[in-house]
Structure 1
Amino acid sequence: MTVIVTDNAIRLEGRCLVEDAEHLLVAIQDNPDLAVDVESAERLHMAVAQILWALKPRLQGLVGDPFLARYILGRSYES
């Protein structure tokens, strides 16, 4: 499972596949006050990215992949 709900955040880990989109949607709907921690995410299926775009949860963590950070999550980091 790549979508993990903790007391502090909803964590995305590893390769988030299409099957994880529904889990992420439910996790965000059930825990609207939790941020989504993307630090351990390696890849996001477009369905997972669309959930993030549509619901606009608060994001936390730095993503190691610059393409994922900039073009999928809409973040830019100074190096």
Structure 2
Amino acid sequence: MSIRYLKKHAALEGVVSVDDAEALAQWLRQQARPAVHLGKCEHVHAAVLQVLLALRPQVSAAPPDPWLAQVLAAAG
């Protein structure tokens, strides 16, 4: 898995695959204040991006990919 679930946020790191999408969605729904850290994220599968866009967690660190950062900022 490319996601570490911590107390205050989920840290998405490296390449986050489609296999991570459902678990991420469930974790975000269970949080009172959902947040994600994307500072070390290299790539997300489209399903993971859909989860992020649908559930709109707070982004505590933007991804290094300018396109992904822009998409998430525009949706927030």
TM-score normalised by length of structure 1: 0.82
| Percent identity over paired residues | 34
* Structure having the larger proportion of residues in helix: 2
Q: Which residue is 1:35 aligned to? A: 35
The unaligned stretches of length 5 or more in structure 1 are none
Say if 1:32 and 1:57, in contact at 8 Å, map to a contact too. Answer: no
* Amino acid aligned to 1:9: H
Higher strand content, 1 or 2 = 2
Structure 2 counterpart of 1:74, one-letter code: A
| Aligned amino acid, residue 67 of structure 1 | W
Structure 1 segments of 4+ aligned residues over 2 angstroms from their partners:
none
Q: Which has the larger radius of gyration?
A: 1
Q: TM-score, normalised by structure 2?
A: 0.84
Structure 2: gaps of 5 or more residues: none
